[in-house]
Structure 1
């Protein structure tokens, strides 16, 4: 997806956000017309005692099977009860039954679907099994058993119907959660230190609720149909007026008195129809969505993994390291079995040091970093003798203990800046929330800190930037926003994953210069992951070269550039640096960027 495509997509998202799904629904003829009819039906049920001309159970044998008249506008049934009054009171029981069903299905199905999609693992497998089991059970037989055992308890019957509706909500919530869970801005929120519950409530729920509302409109109609079907079978209290019971009586008298069947059938059909139209309209409007930005490609091991042993020694003791990784192995489950993509990687980063991990696509460098950040996809698994962040062992740490270091000791600057900011929230909100939730700042202090770091990364109008949505800023500005968010918690180590890939040459030089300045100013360790030796030459003190999931060479930057030991390293350097003209242009650009103002123009 090009930058233009991204901006167009976010412009559309902006327009939808301004109007909102429900505002667009209310402007659509297929929305406001059936909604008005449904609201009228609900009001009839709510105010039934005021609207019904007489008691629905009042028997007047003299009026039995009376045709429509002034006394009985829709006629009377076989015992002389007023059909209009019973129809109005039947609206109340129909709406109440559908509400009980929906609440039951939503309360059970949506949270379990979100949890299964977000956390996966054992809970997901068990929940899927339960969902499949519910769908395979013959519901009508169970309803008949419940009716017999509960003596036709209406609410219990509708709760049972709601339980059988749970799989629909569960699968919708699970599928939406799985989709949004893979978005880069979810990773960014997780690395900023936000808890899983906070991420779900702020980012996942926003993606789940539109299809849930659509499902609710359709489920309400189904619940009403099932309720009428049960009443038509004679299940329920015969003294309670209901559309299904009226249809049963009308069916018995269909040949001699067809009006008895007509009125409840029209009422039920109209109600289900308006719900179906509303659900269809909502589905149509919800399909006009922002094209989902593809998750960045995670590295895959190349077939010709290098057999050359890693050179150079780890120079710093574990207690002196900002980050230390010992014998890290990463594997992924594939249809053909488990494939190991990182093979026993060991390295460390000293406090205040700038280290670059460089290698071609598929070398395993990103997989290594994702293991440190605990961002491997569901198919991935990592194992290491030790991973230490700021001297703290996290290899066997509980998820909450490891998460406590994110945003505090470890900051992360991802690639593809536009994809790593949630288009649903302003930039200010996305900067302030981690400061409040993770660092415990007050709203005023968090806002002041966000303004401070935005100024520090070269954004001259922080107030405007904080009010903006991601689509309203340029790619370079978005990258600076991500850097500001990463340093706002003053971490001891900052990991930058391909921080200049999506930027043009001029902005690349500015971002590299900014990272170097921030690293020196804050005394942070800086670990840069890149495929570009030009970036390494500009900023790094030490270089780690990876190929085929292994470290093939590492050492201080200057000696390594002057005397690379491995043929693969020489090839990378030649590809990146031997173009003298191109190298001179990059150096000139970097020098120019350093000499000019750091203000970024929108």
Structure 2
């Protein structure tokens, strides 16, 4: 299928809805007109005011409103309107220094602390220290040291606001850093702070703008307060706070003097707060998304073999060796995981001695129940383990490099360029602030080093390659405007933007209906054939494994319990757990004559920390005996290549039909 690239609409930048929200709100428009009008009137005041702010008329002292002086005069006969308007621009322009300093200091530190767990504790303590400081005393001491230099005072005030502003920003930044679209950017090789600036900060834009406007109003109030107590610009320079102070001295002789200046000051602060309230009426925060917290750790692996991906005896033997823990280092250029152990810092292991091998053009299925360690293993291959988790031992080999011990620069060269990730829920891996085309083109430009026009052409071609019927429309759509199946295709296109040699697919068809599942599986098969890629498929669906995979490894409680070629494992299983999974598979129930109910596995996967030294499946196994309490290594299969971790495998091989007898309610067979 060919598409005329000239017909593509330009990929739109992320839509900004704040402007539309302001335009639709009368309160916001009035506030904006008031603030902008004050500044313009003040800057142009020499052109239209009848009197200068310092011009005195002793014959018109303490007068009320008149045609000569619309807002009256002060104790020296100076025109109040001239002085109020003249003071407006300096007051507002100096006040804006405070939010600028506060935001410029707080936002980068917040993004840094939210991204790195080690920095979080330090910055939290720092914010608590700043919050505990007596701000008023510090401001007064600062003025005593530097004088009434209001720009410097506003800078100091902005720095003192760091603690409070950090508390406002941190929770949202932390939540956004856990979103899958931010983690997907890390998989693509984007530097951590770059991902924060491109994906986290835009989603915080509303919060940042609202706080900016609120701090602007607070800075105006601070200036007025300092001028009122005589610590602002000194007379005869007009200031709103100084004029309020003067009016208070003559409150009994001429009470009107307080009204113009106090009214303008109050309306200005109200306008700033009203504008902030309208901006806060909508949120740039995307819907609450649940995802595993992950951080980059030196763990990631994949490789390509010089020969074709056709199954062979040597490939099968290498798979068996990998399963048994004896893996030739980077043999045949394959993905090699050796004795991988992952654990919680100062806690139990989550994965114990996992060994895998994936050759070029091969598809490895990683199956097992939830909680068995499949996803943790796949995240370790990408270097995206959760904070508090780490690779304790083992190796992950990629082109002769052990990525467990590689530095971050090496990992960034691998992620996206050579290893890509397909998320289980693609709409959560796509940033809601950006169009599909913007995200795809940005990924292509970053990973392939091409210009904007060429990136858009490649983005269009990628959408065409993954079977999207109307690529120009999808390019200009936001993630919420496309279906789940189409979003999954977009996620695959994003994964292909760097021309990777290995795809790690975490349940890529779970959230899709049957028809779309078949289309995605067909697409993956086509990619394997056309691009000679390798795939690690994390799934619960044995039907998907049988349809797509060449090899399969079955995980239980953090261990590989059986591995081998798909036909050997699914047709001739040698571990009771594999037999139980097959018996509980709805795709296979019709193959068992007389079966009316799916078999079930009693109990649940044991939690880390409660694992025994023997067989971890023994408590749920129908064939368990006393000898199962001993440590059981992964041994070569009796039939075919691969390994199995069962001391009674010879006894149970002929009793597979027992797992096919469904367990009814109450435990009766």
Is the CA contact (8 Å cut-off) linking 2:87 and 2:238 kept in structure 1? yes
Please name the residue that 2:245 is paired with: 248
The change in CA–CA distance for 1:312 and 1:382 in structure 2 (over 3 A counts) is closer
Q: Separation in 2 of the partners of 1:339 and 1:29?
A: 59
Partner deviation per Cα, 1:360-403 (whole Å, 9 max, x = no partner): 00000001111111222334333333122343221122212201
Q: Is 1:533 matched with 2:542?
A: yes
Residues 314, 348 of structure 1: 8 Å contact kept: no
Shift of 1:582: 8.4
The offset of 1:359, in angstroms, is 0.6
Q: Greater helix percent: which structure? A: 1
Q: Please, which of 389, 398, 403 is the counterpart of residue 407 of structure 2?
A: 398
Contact 2:72 2:81 in 1 (8 A): yes
Residues 127-146 of structure 1 aligned to structure 2 (within 5 Å): 127-146=123-142
Are 1:417 and 1:478, in contact at CA under 8 Å, matched by a contact in 2? yes
Q: CA deviation at 1:51?
A: 4.1
1:178 corresponding residue in structure 2: 174
Structure 1 residues 349 and 544: alpha-carbon distance in aligned structure 2, compared to 1, 3 A threshold = same
Aligned to 1:385: 394
- Find 1:269's aligned residue among 266, 269, 293: 266
Tell me the CA shift for residue 312 of structure 1. Answer: 4.1
Q: What is residue 284 of structure 1 aligned with on the other side?
A: 281
**Distance across 1 between alignment mates of 2:347 and 2:95:** 48
- Give the match for residue 520 of structure 1: 529
1:54 matches 2:51:
yes
Shift of 1:294: 2.8
Q: How does 1:274-423 map to 2 (within 5 A)?
A: 274-286=271-283, 290-295=286-291, 312=324, 314=326, 317-332=329-344, 338-423=347-432
Q: How many residues get paired?
A: 553
Shift of 1:233: 0.8
- For residue 516 of structure 1, report the CA deviation from its aligned partner: 2.0
Deviation at 1:78, TM superposition (A): 1.8
Map of 1:402-551 to 2, 5 A cutoff? 402-551=411-560
1:42 to 34, 39, 42: 39
What does residue 147 of structure 2 align with?
Answer: 151
- Pairwise CA distance, 1:98: 1.0
Match of 1:95 among 75, 92, 97: 92
Superposition deviation, residue 70 in structure 1 = 3.1
Q: TM-score, normalised by structure 1?
A: 0.86
- Partners of 2:125 and 2:542 in 1: CA distance: 50
Distance 2:71 2:435 in 1: 57
TM-score (norm 2): 0.78
For structure 2, which runs of at least 5 residues remain unmatched after alignment? 1-13, 295-321, 594-669
C-alpha deviation, 1:296, in angstroms = 6.1
The verdict on how the C-alpha distance between 1:30 and 1:82 changes in structure 2, with shifts beyond 3 A counting, is closer
Pick aligned residue for 1:119 from 98, 116, 120: 116
Contact preservation (8 Å) 1:577, 1:583: no
Deviation at 1:286, TM superposition (A): 3.0
- Of residues 250-259 and 351-360 in structure 1, the stretch that sits farther from structure 2 once superposed is 250-259
The structure whose Rg is larger is 2
* CA shift in 2, pair 1:132/1:45, >3 Å: farther
- 1:505-558: per-residue Cα shift (whole Å, max 9, x none)? 222122222212211221112111111222111121111111111111212221
- CA-CA distance at 1:291 after TM superposition: 2.7
CA distance 1:197–1:51, change in 2 (3 Å): farther
Q: CA deviation at 1:114?
A: 2.1
Residue 436 of structure 1 deviates from its aligned partner by 0.9
* Deviation by residue 1:57-102 (Cα, 9 ceiling, x = unmatched): 2333333323333333222222222222211122123212211212
1: distance between equivalents of 2:580 and 2:326? 24
What residue is the counterpart of 1:81 in the other structure?
78
Where 1:384 maps in the other structure, the secondary structure is strand
Distance in 2 separating the partners of 1:384 and 1:145: 55
Q: For residues 454 and 33 of structure 2, what CA distance do their matches in structure 1 show?
A: 47
